[in-house]
């Protein structure tokens, strides 16, 4: 696996692969890779012949009081994991390579509605930063397909929308969330947790599975289900940010008649904000 740092080298390497008739797959990441990322790369390797991963901690998607500076940077370990997972090329640019004239004058991509509410409400500008950098990466690599984790459910919806709205010929693949044995969704931010917080953290997903079980059993009193789940999270030491049942495709508010649902949550444990979700297609389970 080659590691390149400039767009010029990236384009040259991808052009070589394409001239050999290879299908190109892209896995954008911010590094500090865990087995969830490895699964994204493995999925890309199944569906494409040449897998490009990117590692870029994108300052545009971090708010002023967020964890940009302390976000873990672990390039050497990440390179090892990418090799194991079947990655062919790593693009690991500096901030100046992506935003050569600075972020203030950078053209931005914004996806209305889908970017509002949920994580968009507590992280203003976050999805504009994601949509902008992902659009840039898509234009730099011009992949046939790109793989993203379903853990960032709203992000995946935003990316699907931008690809559709900007007519990018890229297939977007959502990979199911990788979890620890106790159910906690794998995340680079889990590394911030103390031992006690790590022990309590599976309560986040447990609260979502209880809501899902109640809905499957026919309960449609969503406000009551949400209130119970919030109380469960609080009892485990979480401070819920949001916990909602939304439509799985367009993330709009649901009615009791909707069948394709996603239960989405963000909650603080100490100063660490964790997110998770559970997709519930009632017709698939009927």
Contact residues for ligand PAF (CB under 6 A)? 28-30, 58, 61, 130, 133-134, 152, 155
CB of residue 59 to ligand PAF, shortest distance in Å: 10
Catalytic one of 34, 37, 247, 279: 37
Tokens (6 digits) for 60: 């545009």
| C-beta nearest to ligand PAF: residue | 28
CB of residue 148 to ligand PAF, shortest distance in Å: 6
Closer CB to ligand PAF, 122 or 209, in the complex = 122
The strand pairing partners of 48, in sequence order, are none
CB of residue 177 to ligand PAF, shortest distance in Å: 12
Q: Where are the alpha helices (DSSP H) in the chain?
A: 7-19, 35-47, 75-85, 95-98, 119-122, 126-141, 153-165, 195-200, 203-216, 222-235
Report the C-alpha gap between 27 and 38 in whole angstroms: 10
Closer CB to ligand PAF, 212 or 251, in the complex = 251
Residue that the structure tokens 């967020």 belong to: 66
Report the C-alpha gap between 158 and 114 in whole angstroms: 6
Identify whether the C-beta of residue 193 lies closer than 8 Å to the C-beta of residue 184.
no
Closer CB to ligand PAF, 32 or 207, in the complex = 32
Identify whether the C-beta of residue 177 lies closer than 8 Å to the C-beta of residue 156.
no
CB of residue 208 to ligand PAF, shortest distance in Å: 20
Identify whether the C-beta of residue 261 lies closer than 8 Å to the C-beta of residue 190.
no
Report the C-alpha gap between 210 and 212 in whole angstroms: 5
Give the helix/strand (H/E) hosting 171: strand 171-175
Residue 285 is a catalytic residue: no
Closer CB to ligand PAF, 58 or 115, in the complex = 58
What is the Rg, in whole angstroms, of the alpha carbon atoms belonging to the chain? 19
Closer CB to ligand PAF, 56 or 205, in the complex = 56
Identify whether the C-beta of residue 3 lies closer than 8 Å to the C-beta of residue 79.
yes
CB of residue 54 to ligand PAF, shortest distance in Å: 7
Residues assigned a catalytic role: 37
């Amino acid at each position: 696996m080659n590691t390149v740092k400039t767009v010029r080298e990236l384009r040259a390497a991808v052009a070589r692969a394409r001239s050999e008739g290879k299908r190109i797959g892209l896995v954008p990441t911010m590094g500090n890779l865990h087995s969830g990322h490895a699964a994204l790369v493995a999925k890309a390797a199944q569906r494409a012949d040449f897998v490009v991963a990117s590692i870029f901690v994108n300052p545009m998607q971090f708010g002023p009081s967020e964890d940009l500076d302390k976000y873990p940077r672990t390039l050497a370990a990440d390179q090892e994991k990418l090799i194991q997972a079947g990655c062919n090329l790593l693009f690991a640019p500096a901030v100046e390579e992506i935003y050569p004239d600075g972020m203030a004058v950078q053209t931005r991509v914004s996806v209305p509605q889908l970017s509002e509410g949920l994580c968009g409400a507590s992280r203003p500008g976050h999805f504009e930063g994601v949509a902008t950098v992902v659009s840039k990466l898509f234009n730099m690599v011009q992949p046939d397909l790109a793989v993203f984790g379903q853990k960032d459910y709203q992000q995946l919806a935003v990316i699907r929308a931008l690809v559709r709205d900007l007519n990018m010929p890229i297939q977007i693949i959502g990979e199911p969330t990788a979890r620890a044995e106790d159910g906690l969704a794998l995340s680079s931010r889990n590394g911030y947790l103390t031992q006690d917080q790590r022990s309590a953290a599976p309560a986040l997903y447990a609260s979502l599975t209880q809501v899902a079980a109640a809905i499957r059993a026919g309960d449609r009193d969503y406000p009551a289900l949400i209130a119970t789940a919030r109380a469960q999270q609080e009892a485990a030491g979480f401070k819920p940010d949001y916990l909602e049942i939304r439509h799985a495709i367009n993330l709009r508010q649901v009615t009791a008649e909707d069948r394709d649902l996603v239960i989405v949550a963000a909650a603080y444990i100490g100063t660490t904000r964790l997110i998770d979700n559970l997709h519930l297609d009632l017709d698939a389970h009927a």
